[in-house]
Structure 1
């Protein structure tokens, strides 16, 4: 078997969210090549070059024109995505993009369609799916070992201090598309839906607490019905000091699975129990990047293999739209005070 790298990727955007990507690419050196990095502020790109040795691109077009670059990792704020995707997709570059896909459901659908029309691979960074406990939970759900799913509870009691929201545009609709739902809770909600299947309807409440000053919400809660007949609840906030591990609880007719951070505890009704993984940091406290790069490493490696093998990545753009539909429905429900159906389009 050849020892040649699987694929060559460039990194676009070098803000806070890029740290685990860069560390993961360092661990993947030799398996995944990095053709270079690009940031609107060149000083950041040069700092990454000095730390990791990755070359610096002078422009987006230089990446698009580089024949050695197979794909790109886009880690910019959501309001910068449309132009970048247009340039890269037109050049045939495959795209692995940080969540959210875009600020609104319609805009997210447009980007997914553009990549499909250009026949470029689009993967979305939902790294919580790559944790050991989450993978084992998927095996149990897919194998029917929990029985029929009955009750789902997603709890995201995270913390961000005001300095986090003092960064220009953070927590705004224009730059981020919203607050805790689309910027933080989206990870757990995506994981939830990957296990339960689509949500059917929601009744939600959203608010900005006295803990923060920001345009969008730092608290949201909802009751949910799912297509599979299960019901559930969601509570998400960044106003719980000092921040706790998120929990996803799935009650089935044969047993209950509790995913706390990265640790899975399963209790079957026949008395058996199982524990997989550990309660590792997931960025729920004051440092949003306080978690290992392992999950990003595995996701990037899968994306590189998907390019080589000409297959879909483990989390596609179309699949990533599912959580956008849920967040859109929660936002509309909170605004109207009514039960809202989760739209199936775009």
Structure 2
């Protein structure tokens, strides 16, 4: 299905953007894009459900409708495509966008395996030219996280020592009765892959490279192929250690990160997004004034929603630069997910170096078998 564009020509300095998938998550993308009209123009939407597509495009004033991604890419030739589709579709859709010359922004998880993720990275265009693929890990872009990262990199907080990273969410059985959810072949995993990945990505953005993980994963209460809870112990290259919980069984929902540095404890409590007030810093004795002054002088005023990352993506693409978070950058987080699954299934510690091409957990998050 296609309806011709009746609008006036777009300004040449704005990126022409299309959205694929018109479910709930797509509205966050569209509203973020429409808050930046000087940088982007929404020119098309794609969905296989014509009724949903019509409602969505009418609501947001998107001029062109398509039921087929390839046809849209051929006829519209967008600069950027936001992929808001189920995880099992991401790999093929990203490759289709890149082949057409369009950069892609893809929702989490960006792929079902490390193999798919590396294939996507390899399909990007040359440095300084593109096209590129970026994964939506918006929690990196709130001012609170950027402030912590700046203070950590400057040495103001001292060495990171101990961390906690908890995703305690609640999803009932009806949520997983949706045909593509809770399955290895369409979602790639349970809460480790589809829910806690946001918090784990933020933890890695603040602490850097991880080296090894020891984990447990199991089905406690939901009927599904994948796990409904996982717990991991992670060691980092800088010497820090962290405990990670990913759960969809928790009636009192909370997302929580705590990092104990030498000179301060930094905490973040929120649910699906944070603002500056959701962060707390507790200086160590003797560092009260110094840490407080550095904290108050840091970046502020930006929440962690989609708009924060979309602004950086649009700015980078208009400058002909790779947008954040690149496929290569997202691989570090995806390797941690794979490491948790590999460790839990094999009942042993797994190092990051083991998750390489040709190995079971590189090709599939569940290793090709039934791990639980």
Local SS of the residue matching 2:231: strand
Q: Measure how far apart 1:295 and its partner are.
A: 2.1
Matched, 1:232 2:249: no
- The answer for the alignment partner of 1:312 in structure 2 is 322
Q: Closer, same or farther in 2 for the Cα pair 1:294/1:333, shift >3 Å?
A: closer
Distance 1:4 1:165 in 2: 44
Distance 1:106 1:293 in 2: 33
CA displacement 1:260-283 (0-9 Å, x = unmatched):
122211111123475889xxxxxx
Matched, 1:90 2:105: no
Distance 2:39 2:237 in 1: 40
Moved more, 11-20 or 122-131: 11-20
Q: Measure how far apart 1:302 and its partner are.
A: 1.6
Moved more, 61-70 or 131-140: 61-70
Local SS of the residue matching 2:306: helix
- The answer for the alignment partner of 1:163 in structure 2 is 174
CA displacement 1:52-96 (0-9 Å, x = unmatched):
111212421233224551110111112112322222111111111
- The answer for the alignment partner of 1:243 in structure 2 is 253
Local SS of the residue matching 1:102: coil
Local SS of the residue matching 1:338: coil
Distance 2:171 2:54 in 1: 29
- The answer for the alignment partner of 1:209 in structure 2 is 220
- The answer for the alignment partner of 2:341 in structure 1 is 331
Distance 1:193 1:82 in 2: 23
- The answer for the alignment partner of 1:51 in structure 2 is 59
Alignment check: 8 A CA contact 2:143 2:303 kept: no
Local SS of the residue matching 1:213: coil
Local SS of the residue matching 1:241: strand
* Unmatched tracts of structure 2, length 5 or more: 1-10, 358-372
- The answer for the alignment partner of 1:9 in structure 2 is 17
Moved more, 62-71 or 103-112: 62-71
Matched, 1:271 2:288: yes
Alignment check: 8 A CA contact 2:192 2:246 kept: yes
Moved more, 256-265 or 57-66: 57-66
- The answer for the alignment partner of 1:284 in structure 2 is none
CA displacement 1:78-128 (0-9 Å, x = unmatched):
211232222211111111111112111111211121224794111110011
Distance 1:301 1:74 in 2: 17
- The answer for the alignment partner of 2:49 in structure 1 is 41
- The answer for the alignment partner of 1:287 in structure 2 is none
Find runs of 4+ consecutive structure 1 residues off by over 6 angstroms: none
Q: Closer, same or farther in 2 for the Cα pair 1:116/1:203, shift >3 Å?
A: farther
After TM superposition, the structure 1 = structure 2 runs for residues 268-307 of structure 1, keeping only pairs within 5 Å, are 268-269=283-284, 270-272=287-289, 295-307=305-317
Local SS of the residue matching 1:248: strand
Alignment check: 8 A CA contact 2:91 2:110 kept: no
Alignment check: 8 A CA contact 1:6 1:304 kept: no
* Unmatched tracts of structure 1, length 5 or more: 278-291
Alignment check: 8 A CA contact 1:6 1:305 kept: no
Q: Measure how far apart 1:5 and its partner are.
A: 5.0
- The answer for the alignment partner of 2:32 in structure 1 is 24
Distance 1:82 1:128 in 2: 23
Distance 1:149 1:219 in 2: 26
Q: Measure how far apart 1:185 and its partner are.
A: 0.5
After TM superposition, the structure 1 = structure 2 runs for residues 53-68 of structure 1, keeping only pairs within 5 Å, are 53-55=61-63, 56-66=65-75
Alignment TM-score, normalising by the size of structure 2? 0.83
Match of 1:188 among 199, 223, 245: 199
CA displacement 1:296-337 (0-9 Å, x = unmatched):
112122212211101121311110111100110110000011
Q: Measure how far apart 1:12 and its partner are.
A: 0.8
Local SS of the residue matching 1:190: helix
Q: Measure how far apart 1:172 and its partner are.
A: 0.9
Alignment TM-score, normalising by the size of structure 1? 0.89
